A and B are shown apart, each in its own frame.
Chain A
Amino acid sequence: MSQSFIHYFLVPLVKGLLTVVLVGLAAGVLTWIERRLLGRLQIRKGPNRVGPQGFFQWIADTIKLLFKEDIVPSRAEKALHLLGPLLLFTPAVVVLGLVPWGPNVTLFGVTTPLHAAADLNVALLLILAVSTIGVYGIILSGWASNSKYPLLGGLRAAAQLISYEVPMGLAVVSAILMSGSLSMVEIIEAQRKAGVWFVFPGLIAFFLYFVSGVAETNRTPFDLPEAESELVGGFHTEYSGFRWAVFFMSEYGNMISISAVATTLFFGGWLRPFPNVAWLGFLDVVPAFFWFAGKVFLFLLVYIWFRATFPRYRFDQLMALGWKTLIPISLGNLVLVAIAVLWGAAGLKVLGAVLVLLVAAGFFAVWRRPARPRTSTTMAATNVEVRA
């Protein structure tokens, strides 16, 4: 085999397939993690019957979904009904392919960046463009189902995702300002050069990005397009079987890609903590990919944590939060970051220190506040009898 065949066909194919398979597998495992963790946070156990700690539950669910009848409503727009889930799933995978997972690796004599797509110089722009396409999947599947609840869900998704695209874009702009580049690899390298992760000077930007990201992925507290209790599942009401599973996978795929982009922009991607501090060099034994994966995983845990904590917003509250709060804050933050960048190298560090101190004061205030009294359960778990 010639070198060009390997480099321009085989390696991208393997990396692309790896990304798609990884998103599917991760979505499956994440359902298990989510259900177990939600159980822990709600003082119950979660699935624990199938396999050790219920781990094979997601495999059982997958098998069930694969063999379920694929029902298409008779008056539905058949082609668009099929296109909807695919339009939602593809951007999630593409975005994950554009995010670098690690520096160059050498496997079977081939050296290649651990990065499904090439290191584009406009990767961030492409990510924003592609991830916005996902909303078409929701709108189209809502409309193509020819049913009332999905249509309402699709309309909600349209309004919500377009609104939250704005603060998300502005939050990303501050990361671009700090790094001076749209290339994901160069953003990571800029964080190595600056000596700080951009999360410290870009604390507000990161917060805005993550909140908008939760809204973009339709997760609680922003799950209005699905809104199980209001819209009976929203845009995917008329879907079943594997088409529904694709929606499910793309929700988790979108979560992963939002987390991956947040990791890259604000948490130094595959860099270890404090990449410039020499005495922390022992942390380099952990391969770069695992730093990246660990950070992404932490973000996913925060997603689940949010779901366990917050009730759903009303729609006008959602719009008010997006337009009246997040967008003004993101504009102000942009000015703040721009001034810090103009100041020079020290500017980022000073801004980061000020913001971290403010947040520390905030957490201190929470810590000083008296906790609510614990509610006791009438049927205490101490009275459990074990049958022979």
Chain B
Amino acid sequence: MSFLDRILLLDIFGGLRVTATHAARKADTVEYPEQCKEPSERFRGMFRLDEERCIKCTLCAIECPINIIYIDWHTEKTPEGKAEKKLDRFDLDMKRCMFCGLCEEACPTNPRSIWLATKTYELGVYERNEALYLDKSKLTKWDANVKPYPGVDPDKAPVNPAKEK
């Protein structure tokens, strides 16, 4: 800092100028309940499961570091005489989930059968034990407990925009 700077307090006035110019900028915050910001593409939020793509390999359940995924299946004979796995249960204890995304990485199907990039982050509930214990029906369909992100159609089958090839 030069002598002139110290005498004229240029740093002080420079700092004041920075905050003053910020006053002219548009506020970065939004009116949250009415508006919301779009999360980034890689944002990990609410789980989705595509039952048809899933090959019931249970790799996601094995990979999960805290074992919150429980999968149960049985084999059925198709009309062509092939054996096919059918999902009985696919439970995910979301209240314990830490959104590490390892289950998604472990999934061998392409596109992934289980994914977190749904951009849905409004997971607040009043009864977390029931609402955040997701079974197969809750994982494949949006329900009243969790608000989907505005762009997501709650009635349609879940799509995986980030992973679709």
Contacts and interface: CB of A to CB of B under 8 A. Distances in A.
A369 B34 CA distance: 42
Contacts of B30: 381, 384
Nearest to B4: A365
Contact of A387 (B10, B14, B34): B34
A43 B10 contact: no
B13 A45 contact: no
B150 A385 contact: yes
Contacts of B40: 378-379
A122 interface: no
Given A42-B22, A309-B15, A387 B29 contact: no
B16 A309 contact: yes
B18 A45 contact: no
Contacts of A42: 19, 22
A386 to B, nearest CB: 5
Contacts of A39: 27
Interface of A: 37, 39-45, 48, 305-306, 308-310, 358-359, 361-363, 365-366, 369, 372, 377-379, 381, 383-387
Contacts of B8: 358-359, 361-362, 365
Interface of B: 4, 8-10, 12-20, 22-23, 25-31, 34-40, 150-151
Contacts of A305: 16, 19-20
Nearest to A207: B9
Given A362-B10, A366-B10, A386-B34, A381 B26 contact: yes
15 contacts: A43-B22, A44-B28, A45-B29, A305-B16, A309-B19, A358-B8, A359-B8, A361-B8, A366-B13, A366-B14, A379-B28, A383-B37, A383-B38, A384-B35, A386-B34
A42 B120 CA distance: 28
B15 A381 contact: no
Contact of A41 (B12, B22, B28, B29): B22
B57 to A, nearest CB: 36
Contacts of B23: 37, 40-41
Contacts, number: 83
A377 B28 contact: yes
A381 B19 contact: no
Nearest to A378: B40
Contacts of B17: 366
A385 B19 contact: no
Given A383-B37, A385-B36, 15 more contacts: A42-B22, A43-B27, A305-B16, A308-B19, A309-B16, A310-B15, A358-B8, A366-B17, A369-B14, A381-B28, A381-B30, A384-B36, A385-B35, A386-B35, A387-B150
A362 B10 CA distance: 7
B37 A309 contact: no
Contacts of A361: 8
A381 B36 CA distance: 9
Contacts of B25: 43
Contacts of B26: 43, 381
A48 to B, nearest CB: 8
B38 A45 contact: no
A379 B40 CA distance: 8
B13 A362 contact: yes
B37 to A, nearest CB: 5
Nearest to B8: A362
Contacts of B27: 39-40, 43-45, 381
B132 to A, nearest CB: 23
Contacts of B39: 379
A385 B28 contact: no
Contacts of A378: 40
Contacts of A366: 10, 13-14, 17
Contacts of B4: 365
Contacts of B20: 41, 305
Nearest to B6: A325
A306 B15 CA distance: 9
Nearest to A38: B19
